[in-house]
């Protein structure tokens, strides 16, 4: 049913297991990506020790570590996977979904934190496939 699944990696184990089971049962290839807004500047901590740029770099590094770690887990489980290097906002999901010709997009609601847990109004209408939003 789903030949290509685009998964925006989250920290939730339930999401990872869901994607792995969907991929196994459908013989799917999983494309792994993350949402990292290049314009996102977090507040400086009260003690002043962490600059916004450093926090952003740490967040981005952790995201890529999670993506590559999951790629290894999927490969060990016999699931075909590929990492898609994409930096951007939620609005870019449509472009990435179209370019990968995916049949399903899996996105954690936690990925929408920087946009107040809102999807852009016209995003769903422009998607080339269904979006599974996990809690």
Structure tokens at 85: 């290097």
The larger pLDDT score, comparing residue 75 to residue 120, is at 75
State pLDDT tens for residues 65-100: 989 999 999 999 999 999 987 666 777 888 889 999
Alpha-carbon dihedral 32, 37, 41, 43, rounded to 10 degrees: -50
State pLDDT tens for residues 106-116: 998 888 877 78
Q: Give all strands (DSSP E) within the chain, no chain letters.
A: 4-8, 29-33, 80-83, 104-108, 131-134
Q: Strand 104-108's sheet: what is its strand order?
A: 80-83, 29-33, 4-8, 104-108, 131-134
Alpha carbon 57 to its chain centroid, in Å, reads 17
Average pLDDT of the residues of the chain: 84
Tell whether the torsion through CA atoms of 36, 113, 117 and 135 is positive or negative: positive
**Domain segments of the chain as ranges:** 4-134
- The pLDDT value recorded for residue 49 is 54
DSSP run (H or E) holding 71? helix 52-76
The superfamily (CATH) of domain 4-134 is HUPs (3.40.50.620)
């Amino acid at each position: 049913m789903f030949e290509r699944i685009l998964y925006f990696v989250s920290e939730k184990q339930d999401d990872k297991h869901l994607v792995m089971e969907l991929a196994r049962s459908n013989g799917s290839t999983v494309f792994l990506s993350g949402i990292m807004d290049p314009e996102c500047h977090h507040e400086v901590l009260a003690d002043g020790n962490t600059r916004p740029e450093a926090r952003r770099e740490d967040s981005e590094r952790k995201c890529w570590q999670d993506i590559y770690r999951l790629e290894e887990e999927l490969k060990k489980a016999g699931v075909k996977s590929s990492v898609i290097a994409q930096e951007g906002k939620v609005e870019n999901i449509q472009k990435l979904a179209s370019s990968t010709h995916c049949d399903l997009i899996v996105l954690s609601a936690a990925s929408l934190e920087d946009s107040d847990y809102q999807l852009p109004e016209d995003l769903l209408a422009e998607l080339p496939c269904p979006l599974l939003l996990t809690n």
